[in-house]
């Protein structure tokens, strides 16, 4: 069974794409069959972090009926990228029928994949809620600041109210150290569980890192850089190990691979 994992946040610019790309690459080099769906449609940028020139995107599935196999862009590590299209205005306002078509188009990959990572757009829009809820598990990226907490809470609330999604996993990004990361997680968990019947799980944390910030300039995802700091090696290993065994969450609505 393919396990699908959404990377979401509420607030923008907190490191969703960096996390999605690095985890997808690491899970691939560790031996799994992985695809990364860039669901930040119209503003997709995963291919930039992967330093790939792409030809087709999900827009070709919708507009021309192009098969998913032709849209998949195989990257040098073997990670399969499903590009979300950049600068394509039509993709910015997908209706639910189009979102359904995209989700169903991935059914053809059912026997080729172990893990699907979905990089979602910021906010609690219909698109980010629907693509997240379509996954077996949702990872919310949190940074230790009030605006991130507020937006992550609104996102989790919408996911719970609209889709009955009752368990959410958390990665704390830009944390000072493990203790601070866990403290942020615990205070956020307290807020969420006070008001919502939602279970929370800590998946891991990342420090502020030059290797991550500089990976676009270096044209290489951080996890592929040879002299990666030990703390990043350790933390990405912890995060991807947890992702590989993440449990499926029941929810209502359309699901990837009809799981």
Ligand X SMILES: Nc1ncnc2c1ncn2[C@@H]1O[C@H](COP(=O)(O)OP(=O)(O)OP(=O)(O)O)[C@@H](O)[C@H]1O
Which is nearest to 221 in space by CA: 68, 51, 15? 51
* Binding of residue 14 to ligand X (CB under 6 A): yes
Q: Which residues make beta-bridge pairs with 80?
A: 35, 74
Question: For residues 152 and 174, which CB has a smaller minimum distance to ligand X in the complex?
Answer: 174
- Cβ at position 1, least distance to ligand X in Å: 27
Question: What is the distance, to the nearest Å, from the Cα of residue 156 to the centroid of all Cα atoms in its chain?
Answer: 15
- Cβ at position 138, least distance to ligand X in Å: 14
Pick from 2, 10, 18, 142 the residue near ligand X by CB under 6 A. 18
Question: For residues 48 and 224, which CB has a smaller minimum distance to Mg ion in the complex?
Answer: 48
- Cβ at position 136, least distance to ligand X in Å: 21
Separation of alpha carbons 32 and 28, rounded Å: 5
Within 10 Å of residue 92's Cβ, how many Cβ atoms?
A: 13
- Choose the contact partner of 184 out of Mg ion, ligand X, none; CB within 5 to 8 A by kind: none
Binding track over 25-44 against ligand X, x by CB under 6 A = ---------------x----
Question: Rule CB under 6 A: which of 146-205 touch ligand X?
Answer: 173-174
Q: Which residues make beta-bridge pairs with 34?
A: 115
Burial class for 52, CB neighbours closer than 10 Å (0-12, 13-18, 19+): middle
Contacts of 145 (CB under 8 A, 6+ apart): none
Pick from 5, 171, 212, 243 the residue near ligand X by CB under 6 A. 212
Is 73 in a helix, a strand, or coil? strand
Say how many residues touch ligand X, by CB under 6 A. 17
Separation of alpha carbons 259 and 250, rounded Å: 9
Q: Are 47 and 191 in contact (CB under 8 A)?
A: no
* Binding of residue 209 to Mg ion (CB under 5 A): no
End-to-end C-alpha distance for the chain, whole angstroms: 8
Question: Rule CB under 5 A: which of 14-33 touch Mg ion?
Answer: 16-17
Binding track over 112-131 against ligand X, x by CB under 6 A = ----------x---------
Name the site residues for ligand X (rule: CB under 6 A): 9, 12-18, 40, 122, 173-174, 206, 208-209, 212-213
């Amino acid at each position: 069974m393919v396990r699908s994992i959404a990377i979401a946040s509420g607030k923008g610019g907190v490191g969703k794409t960096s996390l999605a790309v690095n985890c997808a690459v690491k899970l691939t080099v560790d031996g799994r069959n992985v695809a990364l769906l860039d669901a930040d449609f119209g503003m997709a940028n995963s291919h930039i972090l992967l330093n790939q020139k792409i030809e087709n995107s999900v827009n070709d599935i919708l507009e021309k009926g192009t098969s998913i196999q032709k849209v998949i862009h195989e990257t040098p590590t073997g990670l399969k990228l499903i590009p979300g299209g950049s600068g394509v205005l039509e993709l910015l306002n997908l209706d639910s029928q189009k979102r359904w078509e995209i989700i169903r188009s991935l059914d053809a990959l059912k026997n080729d994949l172990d893990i699907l990572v979905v990089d979602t757009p910021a906010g609690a829009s219909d698109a980010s809620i629907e693509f997240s809820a379509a996954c077996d598990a949702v990872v919310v990226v949190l940074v230790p600041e009030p605006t991130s907490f507020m937006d992550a809470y609104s996102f989790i609330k919408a996911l719970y109210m609209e889709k009955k999604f009752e368990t959410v996993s958390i990665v704390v990004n830009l944390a000072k150290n493990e203790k601070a990361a866990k403290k942020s997680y615990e205070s956020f968990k307290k807020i969420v569980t006070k008001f919502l019947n939602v279970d929370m799980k800590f998946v891991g944390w990342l420090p502020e890192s030059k290797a991550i910030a500089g990976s676009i300039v270096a044209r290489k995802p951080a996890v592929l850089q040879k002299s990666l700091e030990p703390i990043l090696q350790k933390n990405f290993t912890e995060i991807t190990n947890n992702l590989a065994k993440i449990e499926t969450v029941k929810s209502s609505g359309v699901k990837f691979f009809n799981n």
